[in-house]
Amino acid sequence: MGEGVVSTCRFCDGGCRVVGEAGDDGRLRVAPASPEFPAICPKAAAVDEYRLHPDRLTVPLRRVGERGAGEWERVSWDEALDEIAAKLRAVIDEHGPEALAVAEMPLNIGFGGVTRRLMNALGAVNYTAPTQLCMGNTAQVHRAVYGWFASPDWARADCIVYFGQDRDMQRWPAEYLQLKAALARGATLIEVDPRLTDTARLADYHLRVRYGTDAALALAWINVIIEEGLYDAGFVAAWCVGFDELRERVAAWTPERAAEVCGVDAELIRQTARVYANAACAVIPWGVVADMQVNSTSLLQAQCILRAICGYLNDGENVSGPALGGVVNAQLAAFEMLAPEQRAKQLGQDGPRAHPLLTMCAAALYRDATARAGIPYEPDILGESQACDPSALFAAMRGEGPYPVRAFFAVGNNTVMSYAGQQGIVDAIRAQDLVVVFENWLTPTAQLADYVLPGDMWAERDVLGPEFDVAPVLTASYALREPAGECRGWYEVAKGLADRLGVGDALPWADARELFDWRLAPIGKTFDDLRDGRPVLAEAPARGCFLTPSGKVELASSALATLGHDPLPSYVEPCDPAAAAEPGRYPYVAFAGLRERASYNTNFHQMPTFRAQAPEPLLLINPADAAAEGVADGAWCVVESAYGRVELVARLDDAQPAGSVRVPHGWWKPELPGGLVGGLSAACLHNDGMLMPDAEWNLDPVQGVPGLRGTVRVAVRPR
């Protein structure tokens, strides 16, 4: 590693740009790539603590004994790949390529497109990623309204509307610095959040809505803006369709009605709607809160409508469209290799567990629009435009689908803990003929595998990014160290499998560098040309080109209507049927997903530096509620829904609204025994997925994202 090598920290999804240098002791040091914009958090400084951790996986492992027994033996890479390919070929020959499923997180492996290319060459269509309930699904709702994803222009923003975001220097530090800069120049902050968070304390307006009622608030804002004539009539007339239908829909959503639903003051709703509409450059940045509700589609659609009718599209909120220069991830994926009859087999497009918005049948609705814009490939925004539905996938893996799924790969993804209905996912993986995991750690998912393949980590790999298609830009990150032990990069693994499975021609590049140069050749660049760290801008469709079926902003979405769903946003009161059937048994609304400072999703619990900051999984509960249940601060307690139970340490928290509790996401204890006997290192004792079902009543009907905020009700008692 030379001095000042540029890379991208992937200890979270913030993606802070860093430079790496060797210290006097030989240890790796990282610093912000731009001293003028010091977006970096303490996790980045722990790069060697992570990379050289004694529990890190550095050799391939093969299961011995029963699945989940925790018994392993070391094998060579060639042995592992030979055996995996032979077993996968047997599954495909017996059940067809649709019997292979993959759950992958591209950010954790440094690649987008490669896995899809291998799958498409085989004819495999059942792919999912955690972005299904974290930004990837947002992108598909944006697509239904605009044709592409909208991104805020932070440099100009004079009004910021946050739905539940709580940013600081440990949680998306780059955005936190942008927020602070906007506030320093006089921008207004509107925070929609039931909790009184640190970010809410910075806000000019704080709307403490009931959990899960955000969509009702957004509908009332639209009502005020239309009824008071605050919308941009010129933009609406020239660029939007469906305005009259929208006006009729929101007429019933007066601030008074929304106030009753949301639990906030009607005049505050009116006032904040006016502030947003009268701003010069208002933005609604993405936030995961909107992605994990049963009303997610309606909330996201309402946010899109607010941007549009107030005239902020491409004047504060930029809709760039897919890149036309360089080979992006979707082009690399080469979806054209899939025959129509294979596409039709993708799970979740129809049937009893149909949630079509993120599937291939929805992607097909935009083909004419992309062709009109001269885009020569099928876009895949944030890796979720061509994905199967997780609940349908896990059901098929358990034998409850239209056909069997018998082979499962988890690639840089702790699948067991990443979705609702955790016990059902465990059962699904246990039912497989072949389970392969590519990982840094022996995670709860890896503990159920037949083969665990040791992957490199972000400081050990070259990356041509971004790993998801969202904006017409290409970036480069360079390895700061060689991979530890026998760890390998994902391209080497994918190519090794492709060669053994008889589809080696689909991955003809000798290594990742050769692939990167091929991707950059159309714009006359090589991977080494990007070492200065500056992004390369690619071409994009003309500004104001909306890649919807109509070619305009669809306030009433034709895509949603074609898929058999309401083309306009609405609001449905969340309801836990088991709790409704037994009034009083489950008195508290459960909220999951508040991002921890000391960890990232399921990662970092094995790191001493950060585990010391958060040694146990915490239940946040209002002091009055804790007193009513006899739960003491710092004491272990049991949290139980009608669908499962977890054990957590109570933290009395005045910021937590009465009648609700916060349960943590991603908690397991790597230091505890693994396997089924150990509850997958206590993942089955502490993780929120044990409380939240993937039953249809708890899923957004269009996207299939689970209701983790405001739907499931729980009881709390001392342990």
Q: Position of tokens 């640190």?
A: 198
Catalytic residue among 13, 82, 204, 315: 13
Residue 707 contacts residue 574 (beta carbons within 8 Å): yes
Residue 163 β-bridge partners: 192
Mark whether 13 is an active-site residue: yes
DSSP 3-state of 711:
strand
Residue 176 contacts residue 148 (beta carbons within 8 Å): no
Q: Position of tokens 């997610």?
A: 296
Q: Position of tokens 């975001």?
A: 165
The letter for the amino acid at 28 is L
The residue among 368, 384, 377 whose CA lies nearest residue 519 is 377
Sign of the dihedral through C-alpha 354, 359, 360, 363: positive
Alpha-carbon gap, residue 225 to 117, rounded angstroms? 46
| Strand duo 588-592 + 709-718: pairing | antiparallel
Alpha-carbon gap, residue 276 to 189, rounded angstroms? 10
Alpha-carbon gap, residue 47 to 68, rounded angstroms? 30
| Cis peptide bond prior to 466, omega within 30° of 0 | yes
Contacts of 544 (CB under 8 A, 6+ apart): 239, 314
Q: What's the DSSP call for residue 488?
A: B
Q: Give residue 249's region: left, alpha or beta (phi > 0; psi -120 to 50).
A: alpha
Sign of the dihedral through C-alpha 361, 395, 443, 293: positive
Reading across the β-sheet that carries 17-22, which strands appear in turn?
5-8, 17-22, 28-32
Active site residues: 13
